[in-house]
């Protein structure tokens, strides 16, 4: 099975390169640093590093409190952070600058994996959430590198995707020393893939331990003063193709009843920023952008947040937040950012990537689910008209956020034990 898997990886490598080329046409960062994806980069000249892999921006954000805890508890250990996407890379640089060594994770080809491990020389490997690469896992076991999957989650869709390869996935998982699952549901799905129950612990979700950026609340309050504290404002965050039009239709419903309402619109992917801005302008809205205007003005009807890592002050300023990737079958995105700031949350029907967190918020009254795009406008309008309801939802959302904190501390205890061994 492993031989066939490796053969398949070599056969699909040209397709992976073509995919990089295609993405590079739309997004310039995809054209850069290609050699790293095959393990070619200048060795940083250290050994005994602590290596954290976070595939993209969401996983980097989830790993932020863990990486900071590693820096605090192991100040002399070099930190290696790997990502797969340019947006994840940009977020690593934004959060940590040159204090960590960043490189793209190589493709799961034996020669690339070997070269990567020879250059970074980790003494511990931490894989964030859901990344099962058999050749990488086997290479870590062969070199005696303890491997942990932290903040481990496995959606129903991911489980179905891995099941046809269950034999080799089970063998790969047996290379892992510990799987720190977000929830009992995630742990059960890892067992279905063949993980040993002795490997599994439920430690909770690290995203509850994310720090609220210093000054986010004050910056949000300043924006509200700028555009008028009584102005109705809602936000649509991490939207995907197919969702922006639904959000704009919802905003038209709101504007009919509240002509001074403002929509803060944050597309998920940077390569779509300009396209979304042009689409909004073509529909006749008065539009501002983060890059051009800094903050919304009273004249703007829609404000496009075309910058990465800038959402928290806007969540603090908004009265209602819709979290995207949920009206289309993407699986939803992080509902904890608005919850941490006591902002009521709306989601669509597709939240399988964050099912436990979303269900908890809904059950406790901090979030509500809308069935489709027409319902979105109705719910936004209802909440904007009902400040008491917004306050109750905001308090409930923040209580859920505070109650679930502590996963990073539990994971750090497991890491300490592994490193002592």
Q: What is the SS3 assignment for 383?
A: helix
Q: Evaluate if residue 31 carries a pLDDT over 80.
A: no
Q: Evaluate if residue 28 carries a pLDDT over 80.
A: no
Q: Which pLDDT band holds residue 373 (cuts at 50, 70, 90)?
A: confident
pLDDT tens-place string over residues 100-131: 999 999 999 999 999 999 999 999 999 999 89
Q: Look up 421 and say whether it is catalytic.
A: no
pLDDT at 228 (0 to 100):
82
Catalytic annotation, pick one of 36, 42, 59, 156? 59
pTM score of the predicted model: 0.81
Calculate the average pLDDT of the chain: 93
- Judge contact between 81 and 101, C-beta under 8 A: yes
Comparison of pLDDT for 294 and 180, the residue scoring more: 180
Residue 41 neighbours by CB distance under 10 Å: 18
pLDDT tens-place string over residues 141-163: 999 999 999 999 998 888 999 98
Q: What is the mean pLDDT of residues 39-44?
A: 94
- Judge contact between 407 and 202, C-beta under 8 A: no
Q: Which pLDDT band holds residue 368 (cuts at 50, 70, 90)?
A: very high
pLDDT at 32 (0 to 100):
81
Q: What is the mean pLDDT of residues 321-348?
A: 95
pLDDT at 147 (0 to 100):
97
Give the CATH class of 27-204+406-420. alpha beta
pLDDT at 269 (0 to 100):
86
Q: Evaluate if residue 29 carries a pLDDT over 80.
A: no
Q: What is the mean pLDDT of residues 172-200?
A: 94
pLDDT tens-place string over residues 228-277: 888 999 999 999 999 999 999 999 999 999 999 999 999 998 889 999 99
pLDDT at 21 (0 to 100):
82
CA-nearest of 42, 33, 29, 55 to 116 is 42
Q: What is the mean pLDDT of residues 186-190?
A: 95
pLDDT tens-place string over residues 46-102: 999 999 999 998 899 999 999 999 999 999 999 999 999 988 999 999 999 999 999
pLDDT tens-place string over residues 315-325: 999 999 999 99
Question: Which residue matches tokens 């929509």?
Answer: 263
pLDDT at 376 (0 to 100):
96
What percentage of residues in the chain have a pLDDT greater than 90?
79
Annotate 80-101 with DSSP letters as a single string.
EEEESSHHHHHHHHHHHGGGSE
CATH architecture, domain defined by 216-403: 3-Layer(aba) Sandwich (3.40)
Tokens of 209: 């331990």
Q: Which pLDDT band holds residue 23 (cuts at 50, 70, 90)?
A: confident
Please report, for residues 5, 37, 392, the alpha-carbon distance to residue 133 in angstroms, rounded to integers and kept in the order given: 10, 14, 44
pLDDT at 421 (0 to 100):
81
- Judge contact between 144 and 138, C-beta under 8 A: no
d(CA 370, CA 48): 49
Tokens of 140: 């870590």
| Cα angle, residue 237 at apex, residues 230 and 375 outer, rounded to 5° | 75
Judge if 27-204+406-420 and 216-403 fold alike in CATH terms: yes
Q: Evaluate if residue 26 carries a pLDDT over 80.
A: no
What's the longest Cα–Cα distance across the chain? 65
**Helix segments in 258-334, DSSP class H:** 273-282, 290-293, 311-317
Map out the domains of the chain as residue ranges. Answer: 27-204+406-420, 216-403
pLDDT at 418 (0 to 100):
93
pLDDT at 135 (0 to 100):
96
pLDDT at 211 (0 to 100):
81
d(CA 396, CA 343): 10
């Amino acid at each position: 099975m492993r031989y066939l898997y490796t053969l398949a990886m070599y056969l699909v490598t040209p397709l992976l390169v073509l995919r990089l080329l295609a993405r590079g046409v739309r997004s310039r960062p995809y054209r850069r640093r290609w050699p790293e994806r095959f393990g070619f980069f200048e060795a940083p000249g250290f050994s005994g590093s602590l290596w954290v892999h976070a595939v993209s921006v969401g996983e980097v954000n989830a790993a932020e409190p863990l990486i900071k805890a590693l820096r605090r508890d192991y100040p002399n250990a070099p930190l290696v952070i790997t990502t797969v996407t340019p947006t994840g890379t940009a977020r690593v640089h934004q959060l940590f600058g040159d204090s960590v060594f960043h490189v793209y994770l190589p493709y799961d080809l034996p020669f690339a994996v070997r070269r990567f491990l020879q250059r970074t020389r980790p003494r511990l490997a931490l894989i964030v959430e859901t990344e099962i690469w058999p050749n990488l896992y086997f290479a870590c076991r062969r070199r005696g590198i303890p491997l942990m999957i932290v903040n481990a989650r496995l959606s129903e869709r991911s489980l179905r995707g891995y099941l046809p390869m269950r034999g080799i996935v089970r063998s790969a998982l047996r290379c892992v020393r510990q799987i720190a699952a977000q929830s009992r549901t995630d742990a059960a799905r890892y067992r279905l893939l063949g993980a040993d129950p002795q490997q599994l612990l439920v430690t909770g979700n690290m995203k509850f331990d994310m720090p609220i950026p210093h000054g986010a609340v004050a910056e949000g309050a300043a924006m509200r003063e700028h555009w008028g504290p009584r102005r109705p404002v809602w936000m649509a965050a991490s939207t995907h193709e197919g969702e922006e039009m639904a959000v704009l239709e919802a905003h038209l419903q709101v504007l009919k009843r509240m002509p001074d309402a403002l929509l803060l619109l944050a597309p998920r992917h940077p390569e779509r920023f300009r396209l979304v801005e042009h689409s909004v302008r073509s529909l006749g809205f008065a539009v501002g952008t983060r890059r051009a205007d800094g903050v919304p003005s009273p004249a703007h009807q829609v404000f496009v947040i075309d910058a990465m890592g800038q959402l928290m002050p806007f969540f603090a300023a908004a009265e209602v937040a819709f979290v995207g990737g949920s009206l289309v079958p993407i699986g939803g995105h992080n509902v904890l950012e608005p919850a941490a700031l006591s902002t009521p949350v709306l989601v669509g029907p597709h939240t399988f990537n964050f099912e436990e967190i979303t269900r908890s918020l809904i059950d406790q009254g901090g979030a509500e689910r809308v069935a489709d795009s027409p319902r979105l406008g109705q719910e936004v309008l209802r909440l904007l008209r009902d400040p008491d309801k917004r306050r109750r939802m905001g308090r409930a959302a923040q209580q859920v956020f505070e109650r679930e904190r502590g996963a990073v501390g539990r994971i750090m205890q497991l890491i300490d034990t592994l490193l002592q061994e």
